[in-house]
Amino acid sequence: MGCKLTPQRRLIVEVLLSAGEGALTADEIYQQVRQTYPEIGLDTIYRNLRLMARLNVVSEVKLTGRTAQYSLNRELHNHSLVCLECGAEIPLAHCPIKELEAVALEQHGFIISAHRIELFGYCPACAPGADNKIPT
């Protein structure tokens, strides 16, 4: 499944690229895109972000009681720790899925083309009882 890279979609990707490793809300993306396309609507931003998430171009992180945040998938194979308090996303270098990929192929004939693992918990600054708790 593919889609046309419209000027609006290209700009959304550029905004996410400028965020570096950070994540942005749809409203933050909207405010930046409006500087170039003042006529664009927030619904268009959400529609494009949903499409990009389905295509695995962006990651969407929804924390309970918080607005979803989006970040650019820089590769199809990534793993991260996501803090439930501050939303920090910490990339993991080790891939625990390699053995499962072999089992999936050998036992089921299934070829895994991509995967993503998100483990949710609390970063050291936000862990319950942490002395260096970051105010929210």
**Domain edges within the chain:** 1-74, 75-136
Higher pLDDT, 16 or 97: 16
Over residues 49-101, the pLDDT tens digits come to 999 888 778 888 887 778 889 988 766 566 888 898 888 888 887 777 777 87
Note the pLDDT of residue 2.
58
> What is the share, in percent, of the chain residues with pLDDT greater than 90?
27
Instruction: Supply the angle between the helices 26-34 and 42-54 in degrees, to the nearest 10.
Output: 120
Architecture of domain 75-136: 2-Layer Sandwich (3.30)
**pTM value?**
0.57
The annotated binding site is made up of: 77, 83, 86, 115, 123, 126
The annotated binding site for Fe cation is made up of: 77, 115
The annotated binding site for Zn(2+) is made up of: 83, 86, 123, 126
> What is the share, in percent, of the chain residues with pLDDT greater than 70?
88
Candidates 3.20.20.100, 2.40.30.10, 3.20.20.10, 1.10.10.10; CATH matching 1-74: 1.10.10.10
